[in-house]
Amino acid sequence: MADIIQLLPDNIANQIAAGEVIQRPASVVKEMMENAIDAGATEIKVIIKDAGKTLVQIIDNGKGMSPTDARMSFERHATSKIRVVEDLFSIRTMGFRGEALASIAAIARVELVTKRAEDKTATHIVIEGSEVKLQDQVQGVNGTNISVKNLFYNVPARRKFLKSDPVELKHINQEFLNIAIAHPDIKFNLHHNGNELYRLYDGNLKARLVNIFGKNYNEKIIPVAQESSDFKINGFIGKAESAKRTKGEQYFFVNNRYIKSPYLNHAVRLAYDQLILPDSHPFYVLMIDINPSRIDINVHPTKTEIKFDEERLLYNFLKVAIKQALGQYVLPELDFGSNVNFGHDKDRFNPLITQKANPTFNKEMSQLQKDNFKNWELMYKDMSNEKLDMETQPTTLESKIQYFDDASNQEVLSNRDPFQMHGRYIISQIRSGLIIIDQSAAHERIIYEKNLKLLEDKVPSIQKELFAVTVELENSKALILKDMLPYFKRYGFEIESFGGNTFIINGLPTNLELSTSLEVFIDELIDTYSDNRELQLGIEQNIARSIAVSASIRSGKILDVREMKQLINQLFACQDPYMSPSGKKCIVSIDLEEINRKFKN
Ligand code: ADP
Ligand code: MG
């Protein structure tokens, strides 16, 4: 039998490799921006058309390429960045796989114009599906200008797999920021379909963050700086009161490269501890420097995950660095009229302490209070009350309120007061046992259905009076909010554009009770809306949902009995009380039988 193994032709091999490196237009943006930085550019322009599906163009003023290098750069494993094996273990340069350009050229139409300062003319190359269509010398400026057109034109399956323009643009935006934040000394520009999304000036990190996220970040962020023989951490974290429910702006950079690390995120979160609510997320931009020989960045093809030798050490070091930064800047502020109880004896064992009004921590639960639930004495007291209740439980239903469980079966809640557990769950006795309600998910459902009703009724909802509040947003967020503006009125919001990225909020729905500042609320609303776009809901549906998510009460909010009862009532009046619009369970029920069983030996 004849031999059957054949080497794949280059263009096919490249297409396969491309699948790993280039997943979407944003990957092209990332790889080419990194190349521009490696080339020493001090100014990088990114021009996008149709979320990168039609065009991704990067113009840099870096060192350029010689005619031979320009041609070579499209070969697989062609790189100027690795000379010796040891280089593999260094991540000082942005990329070192020598695969990006070859991959991109295999799945798009690429046009390159590049010129070194020492050359008179620029090299011009057109390459399509790995095939060089043209190479000549032209007039040109120093630096490199690469256009990637019609990405995946020859891989229809991949092209079909691309998401809608807003979603792809969001990914591009993210990659752009990942790089722009790490290089505040470089000027950047991002254009999409003729709109300038970012114009970033060169400066220090703080100036870059303010440039990107808006002027109000000047007051919102706290510097972090900590150094040991193993690590160095620099950057900024958000003050506790600017924490959001959506995971928005959280950035780790290791040796100037953006990475994702749930593990390190956990360390940061832990450092904030009870300063922020359990389900909220702080802002952070943290630059971590580690000796490159101690990390392995090549473990993941998209290179955003890293392995560390001493992860545990770094974890603790990071936690301490954040705690110190917070301690210096946040605690003194909280002390003014703060209701957060840091352990004054008088109130120590009273978990039901009523708290003084405070804009950010009103009624929220401090760690101390949570700990108090463990207090034996109180538990004992509660239990004896509960026992009494059970024994004297009335057998008639007169005094009970009825709720519909489902169409066929009427479940009955007792008139016994509901009980809140861990500032998060509401426990209520029902005839067959008990139900546990997730207060945040339940409230989300309630607001969502209210919003849907507002949509149906076509009657404008009532607004509450408000002193006009202005908010300034990051560029990309301002653009999203502008799209949403015409739809807000229906839900009782009065928001207007005030030119540029500034908006004025003149009115809010009557029953909207915010647990954060209006600014944080709007920011979360936009994040949620933007995330939801992947679900391809209609704009109105999406806004209805996003408002519900952002305006719902949070875990950690202490509710009084009246509030709990109201929440339960409203939840059971919903058409679908069991699931929140974002897919969280609202109710879990536990049968008495199940409980009885647990007590049997
Ligand atoms: P890598 O970046 O891993 O080396 P790439 O495929 O991204 O691989 O790039 C191949 C080579 O092309 C680079 O090593 C570099 O020499 C050259 N190159 C790519 N982009 C630029 C640029 N914008 N300016 C100068 N040289 C570049
Ligand atoms: Mg590269």
Mean pLDDT of 312-319: 90
DSSP, res 418: P
Mean pLDDT of 536-560: 88
Q: What is the per-residue pLDDT across 353-396, written as a single tens digit (0 to 9) for each?
A: 333 333 333 334 344 333 333 332 332 233 333 333 333 333 32
525 phi and psi angles, rounded to 5 deg: -60, -45
Beta bridge partners of 502: 472
pLDDT above 80: residue 67:
yes
Domain count of the chain? 3
Mean pLDDT of 139-147: 97
Cβ neighbours of residue 330 closer than 8 Å, sequence gap 6 or more: 222, 239, 240, 275
Amino acid letter, 285: V
pLDDT above 90: residue 63:
yes
Q: How far is the CA of 40 from the centre of ligand 2 (A)?
A: 13
Last residue of a domain, one of 186, 203, 220: 203
Closest ligand 1 atom to residue 62 Cα is 24
**Whether 177 and 267 share a structural domain:** no
**Whether 440 and 540 share a structural domain:** yes
Mean pLDDT of 34-58: 97
CB of 96 closer than 6 angstroms to any ligand 1 atom: yes
Assess contact for 224 and 235: CB atoms under 8 A.
Answer: yes
**Whether 171 and 64 share a structural domain:** yes
Using a 10 angstrom Cβ sphere, with 0-12 exposed, 13-18 middle and 19 or more buried, the burial of residue 183 is: buried
Using a 10 angstrom Cβ sphere, with 0-12 exposed, 13-18 middle and 19 or more buried, the burial of residue 500 is: exposed
CB of 71 closer than 6 angstroms to any ligand 1 atom: no
d(CA 167, CA 533): 7
Residue nearest to atom 17 of ligand 1 (CA): 73
pLDDT of residue 104: 94
What sections of 67-131 are H helices per DSSP? 67-72, 100-106
Instruction: State how far the alpha carbon of 183 is from the alpha carbons of 111, 132, 287, 401, in Å.
Output: 26, 33, 11, 62
d(CA 192, CA 208): 20
Assigned domain for 339 exists:
no
Assigned domain for 387 exists:
no
Pocket test for ligand 1, best of 80, 87, 104 (most atoms within 8 A of CB): 80
* Pairing between β-strand 195-200 and β-strand 187-192 as defined by DSSP bridges: antiparallel
Assigned domain for 488 exists:
yes
CB of 533 closer than 6 angstroms to any ligand 1 atom: no
Domain CATH code at residue 256: 3.30.230.10
Q: Of the given ranges (75-84, 187-196, 582-591), which has the lowest mean pLDDT?
A: 75-84
**Whether 144 and 20 share a structural domain:** yes
CB of 73 closer than 6 angstroms to any ligand 1 atom: yes
Q: How far is the CA of 17 from the centre of ligand 2 (A)?
A: 14
pLDDT of residue 69: 95
Closest ligand 1 atom to residue 146 Cα is 23
What's the mean per-residue pLDDT of the chain?
A: 80
Residue 69 — left, alpha, or beta (φ > 0 → left; ψ -120 to 50 → alpha)? Answer: alpha
Q: How far is the CA of 160 from the centre of ligand 1 (A)?
A: 28
Of the listed ligands, the closest to the CA of 144 is 1
Q: Which of 211, 196, 226, 298 is nearest to 257 (CA)?
A: 298
**Whether 195 and 213 share a structural domain:** no
pLDDT of residue 331: 44
From the CB of residue 247, how many other CB atoms can be counted at a distance below 10 Å?
12
pLDDT of residue 140: 94
Of the listed ligands, the closest to the CA of 142 is 1
pLDDT of residue 458: 67
Mean pLDDT of 421-450: 92
HEC per residue, 372-388? HCCCHHHHHHHHHHHHH
Assigned domain for 356 exists:
no
**Whether 235 and 192 share a structural domain:** no
Q: How far is the CA of 522 from the centre of ligand 1 (A)?
A: 41
CB of 95 closer than 6 angstroms to any ligand 1 atom: yes
Assess contact for 18 and 107: CB atoms under 8 A.
Answer: yes
From the CB of residue 483, how many other CB atoms can be counted at a distance below 10 Å?
14
Q: Of the given ranges (7-11, 215-219, 258-262), which has the lowest mean pLDDT?
A: 7-11
Last residue of a domain, one of 329, 363, 378: 329
Cα angle 545, 503, 537; round to 5: 20
Q: Which residue has the higher pLDDT, 113 or 501?
A: 113
**Given pLDDT bands bounded at 50, 70 and 90, which one contains residue 582?**
confident
From the CB of residue 292, how many other CB atoms can be counted at a distance below 10 Å?
15
Q: What is the per-residue pLDDT across 226-266, written as a single tens digit (0 to 9) for each?
A: 998 888 999 999 998 888 888 879 999 988 889 888 899 99
**Whether 187 and 214 share a structural domain:** no
Residue nearest to atom 12 of ligand 1 (CA): 73
Amino acid letter, 441: A
Domain CATH code at residue 426: 3.30.1370.100
Assigned domain for 70 exists:
yes
CB of 532 closer than 6 angstroms to any ligand 1 atom: no
Give the dihedral sign, CA 379/382/388/390.
negative
**Whether 105 and 162 share a structural domain:** yes
Percentage of residues of the chain with pLDDT beyond 70: 80
Assigned domain for 1 exists:
no
Which domain covers residue 158, as residue numbers? 10-203
CB of 224 closer than 6 angstroms to any ligand 1 atom: no
**Helices 439-457/539-551 angle, 10° precision:** 140
pLDDT of residue 182: 96
Assess contact for 326 and 311: CB atoms under 8 A.
Answer: no
d(CA 145, CA 124): 10
Mean pLDDT of 146-175: 93
Pocket test for ligand 1, best of 73, 111, 118, 125 (most atoms within 8 A of CB): 73
d(CA 456, CA 482): 23
Q: What is the per-residue pLDDT across 458-485, written as a single tens digit (0 to 9) for each?
A: 666 667 767 788 888 888 889 899 989 9
CB of 76 closer than 6 angstroms to any ligand 1 atom: no
Q: What number of CA atoms fall less than 13 Å from residue 496's CA on the CB side? A: 7
Ordered DSSP codes for 134-178:
EEEEE---SEEEEEEESTTTT-HHHHHH---HHHHHHHHHHHHHH
Q: How far is the CA of 35 from the centre of ligand 1 (A)?
A: 5
CB of 91 closer than 6 angstroms to any ligand 1 atom: no
pLDDT above 80: residue 207:
yes
Closest ligand 1 atom to residue 103 Cα is 6
Pocket test for ligand 1, best of 30, 68, 79 (most atoms within 8 A of CB): 79
Assess contact for 69 and 125: CB atoms under 8 A.
Answer: no
Last residue of a domain, one of 203, 236, 253: 203
**Whole-structure pTM over 0.85, yes or no?**
no
Residue nearest to atom 4 of ligand 1 (CA): 79
Assigned domain for 593 exists:
no
d(CA 275, CA 534): 32
**Whether 114 and 145 share a structural domain:** yes
Assigned domain for 561 exists:
yes
DSSP, res 242: G
d(CA 451, CA 460): 11
pLDDT of residue 336: 34
pLDDT above 80: residue 402:
no
Closest ligand 1 atom to residue 36 Cα is 23
**Whether 154 and 183 share a structural domain:** yes
Mean pLDDT of 21-35: 94
288 phi and psi angles, rounded to 5 deg: -110, 130
**Whether 75 and 96 share a structural domain:** yes
CB of 100 closer than 6 angstroms to any ligand 1 atom: yes
Beta bridge partners of 237: 222, 284
DSSP-derived 3-state class of residue 47: strand
Domain CATH code at residue 65: 3.30.565.10
**Whether 322 and 181 share a structural domain:** no
Which H or E run includes 206? helix 205-213
Of the listed ligands, the closest to the CA of 62 is 1
Closest ligand 1 atom to residue 82 Cα is 4
CB of 80 closer than 6 angstroms to any ligand 1 atom: yes
CB of 27 closer than 6 angstroms to any ligand 1 atom: no
Q: What is the per-residue pLDDT across 328-340, written as a single tens digit (0 to 9) for each?
A: 774 444 333 333 3
d(CA 70, CA 142): 14
